Amino acid sequence: MSRPAPYSMSGPVLPLPDWFMAVSLVPLSLLLSLGLTGLAIRYACRLGIMDIPNDRSSHARPTPRGGGIAIVASFLAGTTALWGLGSIKGDFALALALPGLLVASIGFADDVRSLGVVPRLAVQVLSAGLALVLLGIPMAGAPAVTAAAMLAVGGFGLVWALNLFNFMDGIDGIAASEAAFILVAAAAFLVGPAPGAAMVAWLLAAACLGFLAWNRPPARIFMGDCGSGFLGLTIGTMAIGTSGVIPLQAWAILGGAFLVDATVTLLIRLARGERPLQPHRSHAYQHLARRWGSHQKVVLCVWGINLLWLLPWAWVATASPGTANIALTVALAPLCALAVRIGAGRLDTQAR
């Protein structure tokens, strides 16, 4: 997919004092997210923005939701500051901020008062298209057919990434911790060739960790669609914007735990004749949470897979882009088999 050179996503190399200022934004993002999440709990309880348990829930008591607004606010404040320091360019900052705000806004509205599928999907598609255009995709002067194909493929990928986090945000701590892992790992690959983009990743990871302090098992607040949609879209936008440094296959490997579980679950449910938008609780991670009786054990298991299996293969794909497709296949194939074995996409009585 043609796009601007990755170095256009970072600003000029900063002098040392400005680097200290830029790096100091990371702990500030964590502290801001930590404080804002605490406020979100208070106001969600006061306004009745609660997730009430039902037969598909993985929690047993009413819990405030919409806490993802703390992640959004902390990250956007930090990104604006990075842009002001010259660490990132305006086009990259806008590609992250504007589409993300649109998705977070419709997600928060859905958290407060459930919306239909049509308005949510319409905003998701609009936001994905806006992100691509702000990233310079398709390139100016590209043939109409090529431009349409780029927008279609890229838009589908971003909408799927957005919903991926929504689908997988079903037990305490899993979405925020998964996002933090992906972002910290990606930043390690980016810090040399694209330091501005690495700082963006650190900022969002810090915002996730600040929220995670309240969302770890047992969760005191859920991020809701506001946070999950924002994380999926923003990470997807970063993946496309930095694909000249980190191959898209490496980004897919880093997010492989979510990508495999959500995709395998959806495909098996479709094969069984279920409607894709029908609510369910048949993801592999949900099966494990019920069998083990613990959200924390599942989150730690995912982290073990991330660190011991997926991270090394992502490094291989980044260090040797020519082998990226092979690395992607080798990394994700065992996870697909594992998801099927656990019972992804099947009812409890059908899961093995």
pLDDT per residue as tens digits for the range 113-140: 888 899 999 999 999 999 999 999 877 6
Determine the Cα–Cα distance for residues 115 and 265; give it in Å rounded to an integer. Answer: 24
The Cα–Cα gap between 240 and 352 comes to 37
All residues at 6 or more sequence positions from 82 whose CB lies less than 8 Å from its CB, including other chains: 22, 25, 88, 93, 196, 199, 200, 203
Contact indicator for 242, 201 with CB cutoff of 8 Å: no
Radius of gyration for the alpha carbons in the chain, expressed in angstroms and rounded: 19
For residue 53, the model assigns a pLDDT of 79
User: Which segments of the chain have a pLDDT < 50?
Assistant: 1-8, 352
Written as six digits, the tokens of 26 are: 């990371």
What are the residue boundaries of the structural domains of the chain, listed by start?
Answer: 6-246, 247-352
> In terms of DSSP bridges, do strands 50-51 and 63-64 run parallel, antiparallel, or are they unpaired?
antiparallel
- Residues 71, 207 contacting (CB under 8 angstroms): yes
Note the pLDDT of residue 217.
Answer: 92
Euclidean distance between CA atoms 79 and 93, whole angstroms: 7
Confidence at residue 8, expressed as pLDDT on a 0 to 100 scale: 47
Distances in Å between the Cα of 132 and the Cα atoms of 34, 38, 248, 281, 326 are 31, 34, 15, 32, 27
Tokens of residue 168, six digits: 């997988």
Predicted confidence at residue 142, as pLDDT, reads 75
Query: Which residues have a Cβ under 8 Å from the Cβ of 311 and sit 6 or more positions away?
Result: 185, 254
Q: What is the pLDDT of residue 280?
A: 87
Contact 162, 229 (CB under 8 A): yes
Contact 344, 264 (CB under 8 A): yes
Burial pattern 124-133, b for ≥16 Cβ within 10 A else e, equals beebbbbbbe
Q: Whose CA is closest to 250, among 156, 145, 300, 322?
A: 322
- Mapping DSSP onto H, E and C, the string for the chain reads CCCCCHHHHECCCCCHHHHHHHHHHHHHHHHHHHHHHHHHHHHHHHHCCEECCCCCCCCCCCEECCCHHHHHHHHHHHHHHHHHHCCECHHHHHHHHHHHHHHHHHHHHHHHCCCCHHHHHHHHHHHHHHHHHHCCCCCCCCCHHHHHHHHHHHHHHHHHHHHHHHHHCCCCCHHHHHHHHHHHHHHHHHCCCCHHHHHHHHHHHHHHHHHHHHHCCCCCCCCHHHHHHHHHHHHHHHHHHCCCCCCHHHHHHHCHHHHHHHHHHHHHHHHCCCCCCCCCCCCHHHHHHHHHCCHHHHHHHHHHHHHHHHHHHHHHHHHCHHHHHHHHHHHHHHHHHHHHHHCCCCCCCCCC
